[in-house]
């Protein structure tokens, strides 16, 4: 049968009448198809090699995957599930250092160095998010000055427990009519900032106008939160995978 005949045969076939073509859920297949157990990274691209090579457009969010980038566009819907402080020293690409203890001397060293030009050091809040389009759990690290400023607007979308509200009240903070809630849908957009001859894109967090269409199972969400908040090793400083994009 020729290719044309094959196409004609498919054209008259009622695909709605086909039986199920898989055993198991889409979530099961996504889980077992992962190339590694490292947490992926959500990144806002503005310039650099990936943009120059046409892998992702400037002002778009993307997920680096080896030599490729999954381009998610300039507006994405998320659930923000957890947060942790993070300082990252990438001055030695063969031994990238991450620190999660803000009181440690190493965290303070990286934080201070981040203000120096070409130090390859960053610090800020790191968020565990579930991104709707890719259906993946990802890390969104607000390690730049502009991202750290926007991070405060992401905090209200995190789950809020009664224990957290009580702790806020104990510290003398105004809790108003705060009520416990789960993660709230959030939209992350990009915005172009121009100052003189310089321009770059920054993330902007706003309320999502609708709920996410498809969510993972509750037990999967709980497991990912626990993994994200469990820092590996016996100290706050860990030498991550040599590719910082793959480090959890």
pLDDT at 82: 95
pLDDT at 103: 92
pLDDT for 27 beyond 70? no
pLDDT for 233 beyond 60? no
User: 12 in a domain, yes or no?
Assistant: no
Which of the four pLDDT bands, split at 50, 70 and 90, describes residue 186?
A: very high
User: 79 in a domain, yes or no?
Assistant: yes
User: 121 in a domain, yes or no?
Assistant: yes
- Distance, in Å, from the CA atom of 69 to the CA atom of 62, rounded to the nearest integer, reads 6
Query: What secondary structure letter does DSSP report for 143?
Result: -
- Distance, in Å, from the CA atom of 174 to the CA atom of 189, rounded to the nearest integer, reads 29
User: 133 in a domain, yes or no?
Assistant: yes
Task: List, in order, residues 6 or more apart from 43 with CB less than 8 Å away.
Answer: 61, 62, 63, 64, 245
Least confident of 22-36, 41-55, 69-83: 22-36
Give this prediction's pTM.
0.79
User: 248 in a domain, yes or no?
Assistant: no
Least confident of 57-66, 93-102, 133-142: 93-102
Query: What secondary structure letter does DSSP report for 221?
Result: H
State both tokens at 181.
């809630």
Using alpha carbons only, give the angle 190, 227, 208 rounded to the nearest 5 degrees: 30
- Distance, in Å, from the CA atom of 112 to the CA atom of 133, rounded to the nearest integer, reads 36
83 pairs with which residues across the strands?
A: 127
pLDDT at 25: 67
The total number of residues shown for the chain amounts to 248
Q: Under the phi-then-psi rule, with left for phi > 0, alpha for psi from -120 to 50, and beta for the rest, what region is 27?
A: alpha
Q: What residue has token string 């959890």?
A: 248
User: 17 in a domain, yes or no?
Assistant: no
User: 9 in a domain, yes or no?
Assistant: no
User: 173 in a domain, yes or no?
Assistant: no
Query: How many CB atoms lie under 10 A from the CB of residue 123?
Result: 25
Q: Which domain holds residue 63?
A: 23-165+181-243
Split into its structural domains, the chain has a count of: 1
Beta carbons of 88 and 121 less than 8 angstroms apart: yes
More confident residue, 169 or 246: 169
Nearest-10 Cα torsion for 213, 217, 223, 225: 20
pLDDT for 243 beyond 50? no
Q: Please report which helix (H) or strand (E) contains residue 155, including its range.
A: none
Pick the closest to residue 231 from 212, 213, 248 (CA basis). 248
Pick the closest to residue 76 from 175, 188, 237 (CA basis). 188
């Amino acid at each position: 049968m020729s290719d044309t005949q094959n196409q004609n045969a498919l054209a008259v076939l009622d695909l709605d009448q086909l039986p199920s073509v898989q055993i198991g859920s889409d979530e099961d297949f996504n889980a077992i198809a992962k190339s590694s157990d490292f947490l992926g990274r959500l990144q806002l691209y503005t310039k650099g090699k990936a943009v120059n090579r046409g892998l992702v457009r400037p002002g778009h969010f993307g997920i680096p995957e080896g030599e490729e980038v999954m381009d998610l566009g300039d507006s994405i819907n998320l659930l923000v599930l957890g947060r942790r402080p993070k300082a990252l020293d990438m001055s030695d690409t063969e031994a990238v250092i991450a620190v999660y203890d803000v009181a440690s001397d190493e965290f303070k060293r990286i934080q201070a160095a981040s203000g120096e030009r070409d130090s390859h050091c960053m610090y800020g809040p790191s968020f565990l998010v579930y991104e709707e389009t890719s259906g993946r759990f990802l890390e969104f690290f607000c390690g730049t000055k502009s991202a750290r400023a926007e991070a405060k607007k992401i905090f209200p979308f995190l789950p809020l427990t009664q224990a957290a509200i009580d702790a806020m009240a104990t510290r003398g903070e105004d809790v108003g009519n705060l009520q416990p809630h789960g993660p709230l849908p959030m939209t992350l957009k990009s915005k172009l900032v121009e100052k003189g001859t310089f321009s770059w894109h920054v993330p902007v967090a706003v309320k999502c106008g609708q709920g996410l269409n498809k969510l993972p199972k509750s037990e999967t969400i709980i497991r990912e939160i626990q993994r994200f908040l469990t820092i590996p090793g016996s100290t706050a400083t860990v030498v991550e995978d040599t590719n910082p994009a793959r480090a959890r």
